[in-house]
Structure 1
Amino acid sequence: MLYIFDLGNVIVDIDFRRVLGVWSNLSGVPLAALSAGFTQGDAFHRHERGEISDEEFAALLCDELGIALSYEQFSAGWQEVFVGLRKEVIAIMQRLRQQGHRVVVLSNTNRLHSTYWPEQYPEVRAAADAIYLSQELGMRKPEPRIYQHVLQQEGVKPDQAVFFDDSLDNVEGARALGIEGVLVTDSHTVPAYFS
């Protein structure tokens, strides 16, 4: 079997409120105002596909939120999204590989984050046979082609794959292609699936 794991809130806990907290402190804009204005819109999606640079993304998002931050300040806040590793999921990934299964990571991410988390959490790369990142592929979940790309690269049919993600849209995108999709709602979902 091929087991496909999302990164954020599946292998690594993330929390965008931490990002907004840093930006609020640096900009003086109230956290409530930033929370109300923060969406994962067009700029977010284009950045995750690698269509715009980190600097362009920072400028667009600061403009959207009405905050004046330097690129360095923006970046410092952006990296605060990472909370910590779900070690029990890493252990499951390692066990699956020992049992002869393929284990890969498929993440909607961006260059800013992908220059950070591999150093912070080297356990992720060590527990995966391959890592597929949206900004390197020029496509993002839930676009059908990104799942098809992973299946093709791994040489498996959809019914030979299980996909774990914390986004219902992404899970439904995988299911539409015949992949078993598991919606990860908290840190217990993945361990419970394998228990």
Structure 2
Amino acid sequence: MIQNIIFDFGGVFINLDTEAVPRGLRRYGMTDPGADLVSLSAGYEKGEMDSKTFLSGVKQAIPGSKEQEIREIWNATIADFPRRRLDFLIKLKNAGRYRMFLLSNTNALHIEQVRETMGKDVFDRFRGCFDAFYLSHEIGMRKPDPEIFSFVLENHGLQPENTLFIDDTEEHIEGAKRLGINTWHLAVHKESILELNKHLY
């Protein structure tokens, strides 16, 4: 029986424009971010550098770019937050049947943009629905590495067989499965977190 639910954030609760960065890079003639930018982004998500260092690194990788332009391109990934998802989450929390956790690969710039997009009151209400709110850049780990799932399980005494992990990225789902955690690979644009009851037992 599921007693604990670990939720992803982007794509599950807040909508993302996954083409925003590739679209922005094409303005500089780049059709592929390249290994250096991918590595830089991963390091930023693990909190290995601050935003200033990250933006400086991106500027070096994209000749002719300006910091403000990079910020705008980077943060354009964050789209809208449908209010019905917050209402659903609050109702689920108030039912008191599950321990609820958030586990997100993100970074300081995106979280700033999330707060602006959602608004402080809505963001605070959203965050308050979870027993713990884990952001990769704050804890120095990121999905799909096994250590991040072990960290959540051990930190809260969770049993994998009683835990459901929800994410829209298959690689992350596979990482959780390796620890015996139940999973729901949410198909964005085809499924909604509002259909959660179909995956609880």
**Residue-by-residue CA offset, 1:106-138 (whole Å, 9 max, x unaligned):** 101111112231343215314333210101111
Report if the CA contact (8 A) 1:79-1:113 is conserved.
yes
Taking the aligned partners of 1:147 and 1:72, their CA distance within structure 2 comes to 35
Stretch of structure 1 that moved more, 143-152 or 125-134: 125-134
TM-score after normalising by structure 2: 0.82
Deviations for 1:28-87, whole angstroms, at most 9, x for unmatched residues?
52xxx43433667211111111112222222333333x3422322211222211111143
1:55/1:71 contact within 8 Å kept: no
Alpha-carbon contact 2:24-2:73 (below 8 Å) kept? yes
| Match 1:192 to one of 192, 195, 199 | 195
Match of 2:55 among 36, 54, 58: 58
AA matched with 1:74: I
Q: Match of 1:13, SS?
A: coil
Aligned residue for 2:139?
A: 137
1:72 corresponds to: 68
2:55 aligned partner, one-letter code? A
From 108, 112, 115, give the equivalent of 2:112: 115
Structure 2 residue matching 1:149: 3-state secondary structure: helix
For 1:5 and 1:35, the matched residues in 2 are separated by: 32
Distance 1:131 1:15 in 2: 23
Equivalent position amino acid for 1:89 in 2? R
Task: Sort the Cα spacing of 1:180 and 1:41 in 2 relative to 1 into closer, same or farther, 3 A.
Answer: same
Gap runs ≥5 in structure 2: none
SS in 2 for 1:112: helix
Mean CA deviation greater in 122-131 or 162-171:
122-131
1:23 shift after superposition: 5.7
**Contact 2:22 2:32 (8 Å CA) reproduced:** no
How is 1:44-193 mapped onto 2 (pairs within 5 angstroms)? 44-64=41-61, 66-100=62-96, 101-121=98-118, 122=123, 123-187=125-189, 188-193=191-196
Q: Which runs of 5+ in 1 are unaligned?
A: none
In structure 2, C-alpha distance between the alignment counterparts of 1:83 and 1:115, rounded to whole Å: 13
**How many angstroms apart in 2 are the aligned matches of 1:183 and 1:165?**
5
Q: Find the counterpart in structure 2 of residue 16 from structure 1.
A: 18
The CA distance in 1 between the partners of 2:192 and 2:113, in whole Å, is 26
CA distance in 2 between counterparts of 1:68 and 1:88 reads 42
Q: How many residues align?
A: 188
Say whether the 8 Å CA contact 2:4–2:162 is kept in structure 1.
yes
Q: 1:6 to 1:42 in 2, by over 3 A?
A: same
